[in-house]
Amino acid sequence: MSAALLEVRDLRVELKRGKQQLTALDGISFAIAPGEVLGVVGESGAGKSLTGAAIIDLLVPPLKRTGGEIVLSGRHLDALSREDMRKVRGRRIGFIAQDPMTSLNPVLTIGQQLVDTIVTHLPVSKEEARQRAVRWIARVGLSDPARRLDQYPHQLSGGMRQRVVIALALCAEPELVIADEPTTALDVSVQAHVLQVLRDLHEETGVAVMLITHDLGVIAKMADRVAVLYAGRVAEIGPTSEVLRTPRHPYTSGLMRATVAPGLDRKALDPIPGSMPNLSSIPPGCAFNPRCARATAECRSQRPPLVDYRDGAGKHACFHPLEDGR
Amino acid sequence: MLAYASGRLVQTVLVLVIISFIGFLLVSNLGDPLASLLTADSTAADRAAMIKALHLDEPITTRFLSFFGGLLQGDFGISYRSHEPVAKLIAERLPATVELALASLFITLLVAVPAGVHCGVHPRSALAKAIMFGSIAGVTLPNFVVGIALIGIFSVKLGWLPSFGRGQVVDLGFWRTGLLTASGLKAIILPAIALSTFQVALVIRLIRTQLMEVGLSDHVRFARARGLTDNRIWYVYALRNTLLPVVTMLGLQLGNIIAFSVVTENVFAWPGLGSLFLQSIQAADMPVISIYLILIGAMFMVINLFVELSYPLIDPRVLRRKA
């Protein structure tokens, strides 16, 4: 895995609540190869968005990264100064924000926001940046791009704004883009268009994507590999087709069975019993053990390590993995 | 934009007419112009002539119309006290007050914007805490106390700056300015600072609160995720979003400074409108008082008009909300 574009090792994020020190991310490890799409799934609160924010150092206090390594093309991001980290954001790692309705500055034009981002990172003139901005607007599929530059966010619809957000994330030509639930805030009919734009740009530019979502359907369509998070830990990671067809971790399998998919009758819907624990009450051993039918005494006392299966194509953290995905 | 601007303009004119009417009622109902203007030895014929000259025998509507027509032509009536035209009295004093107000506004912006941004961006830094502590003093200390303290330090102890008057003025024909001479500039510093202390404290607090809120917004977070520099984020991306309330408040405060700089003008013996107003009240000089009130009302309205016209430039969503 030395050829990885981004490598995250043993990432820890903690927060202080009162006198309690709580662990939000507990030893997250994964890697993204150049040009790859890594899906990151899990329930709300599993730590998906936190992982993304921790990588680009955008954690909001009291959340704090307290350990682990983040390496981008051989460069340790975890040791960078504030100013050096700023230069990485946007230029090396783009970020697609979740809610297009609130993520664009309401009092600046689309063009100003694009041009600002471009000239911050690339050695081009304002005029050149403006021309690039026009091209980016066209690339994300908005009509009449030259006129769009002078419009304000409130003059665009939600789907159009999310396209602008994507253009903003990619306009300084990063090698990796972190897409934090890019379609969650959109209407279903618009979601497909926005995903298509993201996919087209991924194919055109070769940018690697870390796609954070709770939607397994989106993962199935977009991701080469998928990481399943649970309670701030990686439950399972591997090639998407492999993980979705024959999940090893009981949690992944539970997620699959709880997913609403067209063509399934009502009986097939099978929610996972219980709910994900609070940060303050993560059980000892495997975090999933209270909800797991296969849990044993070992699961309740020891935390299962992330181990390889199938010659390292994938990894899971389970003492009693499923063999046939059931 | 045009509809928005003309809407504001019509509103402003309407309010101005109403203010004029109230001013007119003051002159026509308070005090006795004849007692003030006629001398002790004047005859009944003099009296009748004076009534005729002042149109006191005509119905109230006619008198208001001629009063209002006079206002439009710059005929503001005659002072009961000095028997001079009110227009002349005001024209002599207005430049001093306006210059003082603008100078204090300038100081306010110069000090309060960077200080407010610093406090909003680093609310927990030692400097921010010191600024906030100082701003409590700024809000609570009355202007005249600040003025006296400034005189005590910079005029009496150090002798750097004059403690009273306007220094030398230059007559531009329509305006007598103290801003073009060294002594005039020196003279305006202390009163302008004294007058601005309250504003500075208020604006710092306003910007700080607004910025702290905007700093948590998604769009600032996204701007940071794109690697924009801190200066760009705070001074352009965040500050722009706090300007509506700040500009509104600055407009009101500018009106306030012009209207009620009375106390500060007195402390520094500044020859402005404030001291004229005080003298007129003592002499029950109704024409001057009412014209002063109308003028102040007009200034408030005009400043407010400009403030409202600036809204769409600051935040384009204003136009949509109105439409």
Given a cut of 60, whether residue A263 has pLDDT beyond it is: no
Distance of alpha carbon B100 from alpha carbon A197, whole angstroms: 58
- pLDDT (mean) for A175-188: 87
Beta-carbon separation of A152 and B317 below 8 A: yes
Percentage of chain A modeled with pLDDT above 90: 37
Q: Which of A34-38, B59-63, B273-277, B288-292 has the highest mean pLDDT?
A: A34-38
Run of H or E residues at A9: strand A6-17
Beta-carbon separation of A56 and B316 below 8 A: no
pLDDT value for B69: 82
Given a cut of 50, whether residue A1 has pLDDT beyond it is: no
Beta-carbon separation of A95 and B222 below 8 A: yes
Which residues pair with residue B130 across a beta bridge?
none
The DSSP code sequence of A85-100 is HHHHBTTTEEEE-S-H
More confident residue, A290 or A51: A51
Residues from chain B that touch A95, judged by Cβ atoms under 8 A, are 222, 225-226
Q: How confident is the model at residue B53 (pLDDT cuts 50, 70, 90)?
A: confident
Percentage of chain B modeled with pLDDT above 90: 9
pLDDT value for A324: 65
Structural domain containing residue B207: 86-322
Given a cut of 70, whether residue A19 has pLDDT beyond it is: yes
Residue B52 CA to its chain's centroid (Å) = 37
Beta-carbon separation of A121 and B229 below 8 A: no
- pLDDT (mean) for B78-82: 78
- pLDDT (mean) for B281-310: 85
For residue range B135-159, list pLDDT tens digits in order.
Answer: 888 888 888 888 888 888 887 888 7
Residues from chain A that touch B217, judged by Cβ atoms under 8 A, are 102
Q: How confident is the model at residue A124 (pLDDT cuts 50, 70, 90)?
A: very high
Residues from chain A that touch B216, judged by Cβ atoms under 8 A, are 60
DSSP code at position A286: S
* Candidates A87, A99, A152; nearest CB to B316: A152
Residue B64 within any structural domain of the chain: no
Beta-carbon separation of A95 and B226 below 8 A: yes
Q: How confident is the model at residue A152 (pLDDT cuts 50, 70, 90)?
A: very high
Determine which of A257-271, A296-310, B60-74, B217-231 has the lowest per-residue pLDDT on average: A257-271
Structure tokens at A81: 């100064």
Beta-carbon separation of A106 and B219 below 8 A: yes
Q: CATH number of the domain at A6-107+152-247, out of 3.40.50.1000, 3.30.565.10, 1.10.1040.10, 3.40.50.300?
A: 3.40.50.300
Q: How many domains does chain B have?
A: 1
Residues from chain B that touch A105, judged by Cβ atoms under 8 A, are 219, 223, 237, 240-241
For residue range B229-253, list pLDDT tens digits in order.
Answer: 988 999 889 988 888 888 898 888 8
Given a cut of 60, whether residue B319 has pLDDT beyond it is: yes
Given a cut of 60, whether residue B260 has pLDDT beyond it is: yes
Residues from chain B that touch A90, judged by Cβ atoms under 8 A, are 225-228
Cβ-count burial of B26 within 10 angstroms (0-12 exposed, 13-18 middle, 19+ buried)?
A: middle
Residue B45 CA to its chain's centroid (Å) = 45
* Candidates B229, B230, B237; nearest CB to A105: B237
Residue B251 within any structural domain of the chain: yes
For residue range B4-49, list pLDDT tens digits in order.
Answer: 888 888 888 888 888 888 888 877 777 677 777 777 777 888 888 8
Distance of alpha carbon A36 from alpha carbon A39, whole angstroms: 10
For residue range B193-233, list pLDDT tens digits in order.
Answer: 888 888 889 899 999 999 988 988 999 999 999 999 988 99
Residue B242 within any structural domain of the chain: yes
Residue B275 within any structural domain of the chain: yes
Q: How confident is the model at residue B106 (pLDDT cuts 50, 70, 90)?
A: very high
Residue B63 within any structural domain of the chain: no
Spatial CA neighbour of A235 closest among A191, A279, A140, A299 = A299
More confident residue, B201 or B171: B201
Beta-carbon separation of B227 and A154 below 8 A: no
Structure tokens at B255: 């009106």
Determine which of A129-143, B44-58, B100-114, B301-315 has the lowest per-residue pLDDT on average: B44-58
Asked if A115 and A130 touch (Cβ cutoff 8 Å), the reply is yes
Residues from chain A that touch B240, judged by Cβ atoms under 8 A, are 105, 107-108
pLDDT value for A128: 92
Q: How confident is the model at residue A326 (pLDDT cuts 50, 70, 90)?
A: low
Q: How confident is the model at residue A91 (pLDDT cuts 50, 70, 90)?
A: very high
SS3 B219: helix
Chain A contact residues (CB < 8 Å to B): 56, 58, 60, 86-91, 94-95, 97-99, 102-108, 113, 116-117, 120-121, 152, 154, 165, 168-169, 172
pLDDT value for A325: 53
Asked if B166 and B190 touch (Cβ cutoff 8 Å), the reply is no
Percentage of chain B modeled with pLDDT above 70: 98
Residues from chain A that touch B227, judged by Cβ atoms under 8 A, are 86-91, 117, 120-121, 172
* Candidates A56, A104, A105; nearest CB to B225: A56
Determine which of A78-92, B94-108, B167-181, B272-286 has the lowest per-residue pLDDT on average: B167-181
Residue A206 CA to its chain's centroid (Å) = 17
The DSSP code sequence of B68-128 is HHHHHTT---B-TTT-SBHHHHHHHHHHHHHHHHHHHHHHHHHHHHHHHHHHHH-TTSHHH
- pLDDT (mean) for B114-140: 88
Beta-carbon separation of B226 and A97 below 8 A: no
Contacts across the A-B interface (CB distance below 8 Å): 82
Distance of alpha carbon B33 from alpha carbon B36, whole angstroms: 5
Beta-carbon separation of B228 and A120 below 8 A: yes
What CATH number corresponds to the domain at position B130?
1.10.3720.10
Q: Which one of A80, A82, A95, A105 makes the best mutation probe of the B interface by having the most chain B beta carbons within 10 Å?
A: A105
More confident residue, A264 or A142: A142
* Candidates B222, B225, B228; nearest CB to A116: B228
Nearest-CA distance from B238 to chain A in Å? 9
DSSP code at position B141: S
* Candidates B216, B225, B229; nearest CB to A120: B229
Given a cut of 50, whether residue A76 has pLDDT beyond it is: yes
Q: pTM (2 decimals)?
A: 0.80
pLDDT value for A153: 92
Beta-carbon separation of B223 and A105 below 8 A: yes
Given a cut of 80, whether residue B56 has pLDDT beyond it is: no
pLDDT value for B323: 44
Beta-carbon separation of B227 and A104 below 8 A: no
Spatial CA neighbour of A76 closest among A174, A6, A177 = A6
Nearest-CA distance from A322 to chain B in Å? 39
Residues from chain B that touch A104, judged by Cβ atoms under 8 A, are 219, 222
- Helix B126-140 and helix B86-121, axial crossing angle in degrees, nearest 10: 150
Q: How confident is the model at residue A266 (pLDDT cuts 50, 70, 90)?
A: low
Distance of alpha carbon B132 from alpha carbon B119, whole angstroms: 8
Residues from chain A that touch B222, judged by Cβ atoms under 8 A, are 95, 97, 103-104, 165, 168
Given a cut of 70, whether residue A248 has pLDDT beyond it is: yes
